[in-house]
Amino acid sequence: MLEKVLYPTDFSDVAMKAFQFVKQLNKCGVREVVILHVVDQRSVDALAIYTDRDFLGIEKAWEENVMEQIRPMEDELKELGFQVTVRIEKDVPFSSILKVEEEEDVSVIVIGSHGKSNVKEMLLGSVSEKVVRKARKPVLVVKR
């Protein structure tokens, strides 16, 4: 039985389509949703190397922006009766998703088929593809 869903998001159109699907899962007995946003550590490291601006200020603004995007989703899920946990991680996205899958002991992962960086995904393999191959729990991939 599905009880707890991991919903990784990069706020892309496909991730928002997956969110619409997650909202419907309360009809299937799902009680809890973990919303996960992963800030790609490689991007953070590159930014730290190539900027002379206040890095901590940039990082704080980045996190505030993420929370501004997550808060409405969290509120909407709570209104539908879900218990919601929000996690923001700094890591390589697919490995962070797999780590949170294990830590939160989720029943299923609901993920969009493509993120914001489509060209990069075509060349390197998408995050969702790596999650599908390596996840221990079922993965529901929502297409465009």
Q: What is the CATH number of the domain that holds 105?
A: 3.40.50.620
Backbone angles phi, psi at 63, to 5 degrees: -65, -40
What whole-number distance in Å separates Cα of residue 77 and Cα of residue 57?
30
Residue 63 structural domain: 4-142
Give the total number of structural domains in the chain.
Answer: 1
In the predicted model, is pLDDT for residue 125 greater than 50? no
**38 is written with which tokens?**
């992963």
pLDDT band at 105 (very low <50, low <70, confident <90, very high): very high
Give the pLDDT confidence of 53-64 residue by residue, as tens digits.
666 677 787 889
What is the average pLDDT across 18-32? 94
The pLDDT score that the predictor gives to residue 61 is 79
What whole-number distance in Å separates Cα of residue 5 and Cα of residue 31?
8
Structure pTM? 0.86
